[in-house]
Structure 1
């Protein structure tokens, strides 16, 4: 009998900080106190590691079944994080019947750590596929994003925001046919009328409203889906700069472009999907249900049986103009707004806010004459070497974060004023505007 069989929806309560809570007796019934080594053979070498957690393959001593065990330390920087760990367990338990979320098997607890036993996804992280193949063919990207959104629909129906969607937190089945969402360490339950404010996420994937310390919403995940779509289709990160300040500013202004050399062959429907999800105003983004009904994702053509990779072909990057889009060398768009820090359940927050209306056009509309000139400027800047979305940053910006994608970005052609807020978490986070003559001088701690 599953350890989760005695749980009902009424058992799940939401704290004021967005953490799910279970009654003490339910937690005790889930947590096993005997040594995990009495039940499983535990491999000594982790196949994934973070600052406060590691993941090891384990094998049941009787059945021989293999699982992944996530070992999490209970104390981080002298603070007890038991509630955060129990929240992660509760989210996994709440989604136990969803085939797009990694399945919880059981949990072991000692005085110093908790081991969460999960189903083993033998295909590994989607990130590894990008490391090998740089990008996905469009059909495979559609399949992957469908699976992500199906899992996200299950979460959002239960008012849970993941808040850290990225290739490292998406796992493949052994044959690569299925994609599952994992790592709910910084997820939050978002109840109507509640105002949970935290600086959470991974630098390149974080939504602009989180940077400006606005209340968390489910729409933050849709922004991350848009970034993910861009990364899967191009192999590059849409907002990453050479410094974290550049990245924050690019997100704040929604500095979004689609250079033809890395988007050659990508359909206009795919590009429109990215535009519809990367909207600065959370209320203007698609919902998860609308994403699944988007014409691009509803398209059944070229959907492979497995999510497989495709390296760049030399012919794809040739300089010939056959099949070029009528939108010019670069497809620019979207509107602008908004300042980050924090990851993996530990918040090292910075408050930031920008009030900007920027970029060339709004959500796919554009002025042809203006765009023609600005597109050439954009592509001229893009002539310098680019780094792939999976390139490893040797100096990770977050103390607890994995390396994040990097790609060269240009500065905004017409610098707006910048509201620079560089203080750590404070009640008086809204400060008077500080005008900076250049966006690259904005310092976001």
Structure 2
């Protein structure tokens, strides 16, 4: 029998994983002296390497170990930047760093254990009923995490569904992860980047223009659009077409999936998917938006010319969202295979 996702507001101050820590590392410290690693308990895999469970010997605390293979000096510099960023981002909505080690060819990050899997994977499960109300709870937490990052002058630059995890399989608490592309933001600098995931990257990245915290907010808007409808607003037949769609910044709510979505939710998305970065809502403004602030006992407001009310507790169709998740799984599998192939070629030559 299906059941609803817990719709109560998460108490994220309860039971923090550990007290804030200033993490430093050196080659003299040996990982196996302090931790037992469990390769058979793999939590994730990507182009960087693998994530698996581990146990701290002194405390028996169960954590996660992310192994990052280092081949070039630039890769080491990038991981050092990730560690510095994570030490700065100590917040309940963000993955917390516990320890780090360097064995010469790998840097191993020890983090809190996030056991609930990817948010989108969880909500498409047949046992859960996804409602607009549930979406507001998840989006509020995402904005809380992004707001803290931006107040610390850090831009994530890789906001996408795969980087939003559920703390456990039964709670409604989420965590933002993967700060490998994160950058410190200086309002007086003119930083430009050329990386990210095509479906979620902002127009200014594609156009190689100055990035700001608003760059993350575009991605938040895309994530919200997909969570509510299962549709990817800018996805084309290939990456080139997708990036072209992003730069045009043209999208709509014409699909029938949005018939069951409130005007407040649509207004929230509309104020994020704006081509001009300075006109997008900030994370703080998102948290004050009527869609996220609205009490559960107040009806959503209606835009002029609309008819009837929307029941935020009504189950949303997840058919298109399931198709989206399946496609993303396939893309990740292909990317992993290509990465392994490149590694083999490099080894041969």
Question: Is the structural similarity TM-score above 0.5?
Answer: yes
- Quick one: distance in 2 between partners of 1:302 and 1:88? 42
- Deviating more after overlay: 255-264 vs 152-161: 255-264
Question: Which of the pair has more CA radius of gyration?
Answer: 1
Secondary structure in 1 matching 2:108: strand
CA contact (8 A) 1:4 1:30 kept: no
Written as runs of structure 1 = structure 2, the 5 A alignment for 1:184-223 is 184-223=179-218
Of residues 90, 106, 112, the one that matches 2:105 is 112
Deviations 1:140-180 (A, max 9, x none): 11111111111111110111100111111112122322111
Secondary structure in 2 matching 1:203: coil
**Structure 1, unaligned runs of 5 or more:** 8-26, 304-322, 329-384, 403-445
Say if 1:166 and 1:395 are closer, same or farther in 2 by CA, change over 3 A.
Answer: closer
Of residues 84, 87, 93, the one that matches 1:90 is 84
Written as runs of structure 1 = structure 2, the 5 A alignment for 1:5-84 is 29-31=24-26, 33-45=28-40, 46-75=42-71, 78=72, 80-84=74-78
CA contact (8 A) 2:194 2:208 kept: yes
1:427 is matched with which residue? none
- Quick one: distance in 1 between partners of 2:212 and 2:139? 20
Q: Is the aligned partner of 1:168 residue 2:168? A: no
Written as runs of structure 1 = structure 2, the 5 A alignment for 1:384-403 is 388-392=323-327, 394=330
- Quick one: distance in 2 between partners of 1:136 and 1:194? 42
- Quick one: distance in 2 between partners of 1:287 and 1:193? 18
Q: Is the aligned partner of 1:232 residue 2:227? A: yes
- Quick one: distance in 2 between partners of 1:86 and 1:112? 14
Secondary structure in 2 matching 1:101: coil
Instruction: Give TM-score, length-normalised by structure 2.
Output: 0.78
1:265 is matched with which residue? 260
Say if 1:387 and 1:145 are closer, same or farther in 2 by CA, change over 3 A.
Answer: closer
**Structure 2, unaligned runs of 5 or more:** 1-17, 308-319, 339-349
1:128 is matched with which residue? 121
Secondary structure in 2 matching 1:72: strand
Of residues 134, 139, 151, the one that matches 2:133 is 139
- Quick one: distance in 2 between partners of 1:401 and 1:302? 49
- Quick one: distance in 2 between partners of 1:127 and 1:111? 36
- Quick one: distance in 2 between partners of 1:57 and 1:386? 29
- Deviating more after overlay: 243-252 vs 254-263: 254-263
2:275 is matched with which residue? 280
CA contact (8 A) 1:197 1:213 kept: yes
Instruction: Give TM-score, length-normalised by structure 1.
Output: 0.62
CA contact (8 A) 1:244 1:397 kept: no
The structure richer in helix per residue is: 2
**Over aligned residue pairs, what C-alpha RMSD do you find?**
3.0
Deviations 1:302-353 (A, max 9, x none): 89xxxxxxxxxxxxxxxxxxx9x9569xxxxxxxxxxxxxxxxxxxxxxxxx
Say if 1:257 and 1:387 are closer, same or farther in 2 by CA, change over 3 A.
Answer: farther
Q: How many residues of Structure 1 are paired with residues of Structure 2 in the alignment? A: 301
Moved over 6 A (4+): none
Deviations 1:184-211 (A, max 9, x none): 0001111021111111211110001100
Deviations 1:61-95 (A, max 9, x none): 343221111111122xx454111101111111001
Secondary structure in 2 matching 1:258: coil
